[in-house]
């Protein structure tokens, strides 16, 4: 951290932006194993909110790793840095008055706790997409589990790297036996209450 920086406080605040948008802004963090449905659900919920004229934006793990975080690996320390950077980006977006969706495996509890420190506890909603490893492997949308089982991928969450499930998420969606439509509706109902 540079000792030669001074934070500049601007006259337009988050509250001013929320007033123009006519809704609160916050970060909705989707966590769960790869293939659990995080990005799918975040995307569908965003579509529904967009129809209601809610200002939104989605941050996705693969998309972020192709850009700002392309220098990071999947080693534990890089995973932590990946999540920290995303939290900082999300914090700027929340300050801009945007309901921000983040769909990231984010396997470590300590990293998810750090997000709360960065964006503020009052601006953070944690949604645990609780899908069994068996179901995620059955789906294997990206073919990652097959590669991990064959030893081609190191540090695969759920296989050779741990996933620490949230202890007390704001919302838990169990997708193994629930339709996408039902999951979207549950999340939507929860978020709409928070917008007021």
Q: Tell me, what's the pLDDT at 2?
A: 65
Token couple for 11: 């006259």
Token couple for 99: 């309901």
Q: Give the domains, in start order, of the chain with CATH numbers.
A: 23-194 (3.40.50.300)
- Set 2, 106, 132, 179: catalytic member: 106
Annotated binding residue 158: no
Q: Tell me, what's the pLDDT at 5?
A: 76
Annotated binding residue 194: no
Long-range contacts formed by 114-119: CB under 8 A, 24+ apart: 114/80, 114/83, 114/84, 114/87, 115/27, 115/29, 115/83, 115/87, 115/90, 118/84, 118/87, 118/88, 118/90, 118/91, 119/26, 119/27, 119/87, 119/90, 119/91, 119/94
Annotated binding residue 37: yes
CA distance linking residue 188 with residue 92, whole number of Å: 23
Annotated binding residue 151: no
Q: Tell me, what's the pLDDT at 91?
A: 97
Please enumerate in sequence order all residues whose Cβ is within 8 A of that of 44, keeping only pairs 6 or more positions apart, or say none: 180, 184
User: What is the mean pLDDT of each successive set of 10 residues along the chain, which is 196 residues long?
Assistant: 73 89 96 95 97 95 85 89 96 97 95 97 97 93 91 90 95 94 97 94
Annotated binding residue 41: no
Q: Tell me, what's the pLDDT at 64?
A: 86
CA distance linking residue 129 with residue 101, whole number of Å: 14
Token couple for 51: 């129809």
Residue with tokens 């492997």: 137
Annotated binding residue 39: yes
pTM for this entry: 0.91
Mark whether 106 is an active-site residue: yes
């Amino acid at each position: 951290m540079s000792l030669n920086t001074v934070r500049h406080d601007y006259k337009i605040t988050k509250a001013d932006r929320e007033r123009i948008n006519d809704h609160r802004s916050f970060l909705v963090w989707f966590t769960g194993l790869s293939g659990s449905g995080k990005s799918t659900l975040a995307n569908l919920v965003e579509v529904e909110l967009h129809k209601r004229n809610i200002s939104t934006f989605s941050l996705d793990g693969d998309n972020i790793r192709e850009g700002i975080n392309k220098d990071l690996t999947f080693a534990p320390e890089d995973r932590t840095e990946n999540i920290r950077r995303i939290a900082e980006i999300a914090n700027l977006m929340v300050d801009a008055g945007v309901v921000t969706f983040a769909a990231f495996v984010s396997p470590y509890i300590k990293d998810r706790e750090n997000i709360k420190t960065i964006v503020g506890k009052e601006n953070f909603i944690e949604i645990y997409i609780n899908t069994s490893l068996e179901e995620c492997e059955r789906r294997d949308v990206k073919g990652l589990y097959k590669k991990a089982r064959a030893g081609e991928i190191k540090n695969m969450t759920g296989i050779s790297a741990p996933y620490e499930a949230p202890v007390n998420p704001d919302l838990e969606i169990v997708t193994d036996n629930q339709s996408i439509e039902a999951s979207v509706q549950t999340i939507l109902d929860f978020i709409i209450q928070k917008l007021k």
